[in-house]
Amino acid sequence: MTNQEAFDHALALATRSNIAMLGTVDDNGHPNIRAMIKMENQGLKEIRFTTNTSSRKIPQLKNNPKACVYFVDLDKWMGIMLIGTVDILQDSESRHRCWREGFEKYYPQGVHDPDYSVLRFTARKGQYYHSLKVTDFEL
């Protein structure tokens, strides 16, 4: 598989996935994983999530912005891991961009709730896995 083919398959998987796994590194140097709803992907370069500002991943990411995002299709035994960094955003444009109907359930004060944060993951490189093969690509 060429790197371009790997990229194309990876982009299709990321785009059709509603859920991603976000990996971070905690204060003791251990990796942490949690499933998150993908709000938006701009190609494979930028992926946005929302989270409670009070959640544990916020101090982890402030301390260490190194992260990965993993999309997987277990039926096809296909995955992508993207390596990059996360910015924590609370500006008005970012808040409005990722706000969805029903979010008041999580952020009762609405779009300017201080407990509402946007995570913007920016990828630097990626790996596409399929049927035990790994193909690298740069971003």
Contact residues toward its own copies (CB under 8 A) are 19, 21, 23-26, 28-35, 56, 64, 66-68, 70, 72, 74, 79, 81, 83, 106, 129, 132, 134
| Beta carbon nearer to its own copies, 106 or 110 | 106
136 contacts 126 by C-beta, under 8 angstroms: yes
Within 13 Å of residue 72, how many CA atoms lie on the same side as its CB?
9
CB atoms within 10 A of CB 32: 14
Grouping H, G, I as helix, E, B as strand and the rest as coil, residue 66 is strand
| Beta carbon nearer to its own copies, 92 or 102 | 102
Output the smallest distance, CB 103 to its own copies, in A.
Answer: 13
57 contacts 69 by C-beta, under 8 angstroms: no
| Beta carbon nearer to its own copies, 48 or 127 | 127
Output the smallest distance, CB 112 to its own copies, in A.
Answer: 20
Output the smallest distance, CB 72 to its own copies, in A.
Answer: 5
| Beta carbon nearer to its own copies, 1 or 19 | 19
Grouping H, G, I as helix, E, B as strand and the rest as coil, residue 71 is strand
CB atoms within 10 A of CB 89: 16
